[in-house]
Amino acid sequence: MSADKLDALIERIASEHGIVLSQDDPVLMMHTLNEVLLEQNEKAHAELLSNYQAILEESFNRWCEYSTKKSNAIISASMGNAQLTRDQFLESCIQLIDEKIKSREGQEIYELTRISRQAAIINLLASTLILVSVVTIFLILL
């Protein structure tokens, strides 16, 4: 503790309590000891906070990697399921068209053409929905 601070402390105690302390008074030694302990505590807390921040940053980075992997897996699975559903639907449409062409029923062929057009529109909407989902997940991860 510097001499100026010690003198200021002695003056404050004298003005507030009416007691004059000398430079070698044990009370002042306790004050100095408390200041040293507070400084050490401050350094220890700063180090603990720094370590905690490093741990938090590491955990956040691991969480980001994990969530990216999971979201990519979900997107891949979703796209795979959509493609499988589309392929199954197209196969059933092709089979129906083939059956109707063989039976030569013109009106039913027209209906199948309409259904195929609707299927194409649904596929387009599904593809757009998947694209929007991928972009949304990408933006969320940023």
Domain boundaries, the chain: 3-141
Q: How far is CA 57 from the centre of its chain?
A: 12
- Write down the pLDDT at residue 9: 84
Asked if 102 and 54 count as a contact pair (C-beta separation under 8 A), the reply is no
Asked if 35 and 1 count as a contact pair (C-beta separation under 8 A), the reply is yes
Between CA 88 and CA 82 the distance in angstroms is: 10
Between CA 92 and CA 115 the distance in angstroms is: 11
Between CA 53 and CA 60 the distance in angstroms is: 10
Whether the full predicted model's pTM is greater than 0.75, yes or no, is no
pLDDT band per the 50, 70, 90 thresholds, residue 121: very high
Contacts of 115 by beta carbon, 8 Å cutoff, 6+ apart:
93, 96
pLDDT band per the 50, 70, 90 thresholds, residue 14: confident
Q: Is residue 1 pLDDT above 70, yes or no? A: no
pLDDT band per the 50, 70, 90 thresholds, residue 50: very high
